[in-house]
Amino acid sequence: MSTTTPVSSRPRERRLAPRDRLVVATMIIIPLVLVLWLVWLPALASVYLSFTRWNGFQIGTIEWVGLQNYRDITTIYPPFWPAIRHNLIWLVFLFFIPTLFGMFLAVILDREMRGSRFYQTAFYLPVVLSLALIGFIWQLFYSRDQGLLNQVLGTQIDWYGDPNINLWSVLFATAWRHTGYIMLIYLAGLKGVDVSLREAAAVDGASEVKTFFTIIFPVMRPINLIVIVIVVIESLRAFDLVWIINKGRNGLEIIAALVSQNVIGEATRYGFGSALAVIMMIISSVFITLYLRAVFSEERQP
């Protein structure tokens, strides 16, 4: 009579070798330290400094002033409300002009037309350019004396210097860069749409326009949420092109430029600039929180 040794159904625990543990610990600790050092520490320091008055030279000179910086910003700081208005204009413009145009280009290029690769590269090329280079390129169009636009129109308009129109000039230069970015995002989203949805709509006799707005566009809801967050953040952190032109003055006041003016400008008011940065961070966090809430609620759905 033979006896069989019972085999345990419990899986054997696999322990990592000491070298593997070191690698895993290194891969966790180093990114964690970098995130804490480069993201959370500056953010928390900005929040703290926003309640203080400090010239940025000696830590011992930091003076606690409570909400005084926020009161001054909203009551006696003239550039603040124009900056808020300009950022809102930036948001609306980016949403209705380059975003919708980028979506339109993505729909056209998704049809695999002849030369679509060339057009994708051409429209995406401005995205990889620096804002300084974009400002220089558009200076060739906007220059009052030698600009192409004035030469064609026969005018002598200072497109970057006139406070009544320089915001719109910068917005169109920004749209040139933003359109390609949105186009690429929507193009990637369209590639992921199930082909059977289009085929079913075609069998039902739906036109391409109706198919897109009733079937394809709702299916790309995650892409739409990402684009909305990108547009909001881009409108709030708009800085480079404005700073290159006139450091955010003379009709180009925006929140990010005001932060730099107070932190690294002649005034060096770290507390005041930090309060402006916190305001901008709070506004951004609201939209990011709404986006994350929508994403997590979709994941919970069966």
Q: Is residue 15 part of a domain?
A: no
Q: Count of domains in the chain?
A: 1
pLDDT tens for 185-235 read: 999 888 888 778 877 887 877 788 888 888 888 888 888 888 888 888 888
Q: Which domain holds residue 270?
A: 69-300
**Residue 9, in any domain of the structure:** no
18 compared with 283, residue with greater pLDDT: 283
The mean of the pLDDT values for the chain is 84
Sequence-ordered list of residues with C-beta below 8 angstroms from that of 217, at least 6 positions apart, any chain: 224
Q: Point out the least confidently predicted range of 11-15, 29-33, 179-183, 283-287.
A: 11-15
Burial class of residue 286 (count of CB atoms within 10 Å of its CB; 0-12, 13-18, 19+): exposed
CATH number of the domain where residue 290 is located: 1.10.3720.10
Residue 48 has pLDDT above 90, yes or no: yes
Q: 101: pLDDT confidence band, cut at 50, 70 and 90? A: very high
Query: 46 and 277 in contact (C-beta within 8 Å)?
Result: yes
H or E segment and range at residue 53: strand 52-53
Domain presence at residue 22:
no
Per-residue pLDDT, 9: 55
Judge whether 46 lies within some domain: no
Predicted confidence (pLDDT) at residue 261 exceeds the cutoff of 90: no
Give domain status of residue 258, yes or no.
Answer: yes
Give the per-residue pLDDT at 94: 92
pLDDT single digits (tens) 54-63: 887 778 888 9
Pick from 10-24, 131-145, 173-187 the range whose average pLDDT is largest. 173-187
Q: Given phi > 0 = left and psi -120 to 50 = alpha, else beta, which region is 56? A: left
| Residue 2 to residue 5: CA distance in whole angstroms | 10
Q: Is residue 3 in a domain?
A: no
| Nearest CA-CA partner of 169 in 137, 121, 130 | 137
Q: Which span out of 12-26, 67-81, 125-139, 278-292 was modeled with the highest average pLDDT?
A: 67-81
Q: Is residue 98 part of a domain?
A: yes
The predicted model scores a pTM of 0.81
The answer to whether residue 226 is domain-embedded is: yes
Question: For 100-111, what is the mean pLDDT?
Answer: 89
Instruction: Identify any residues that bridge with 64 across adjacent strands, giving them in sequence order.
Output: 52
DSSP bridge pairs for 63 = 53
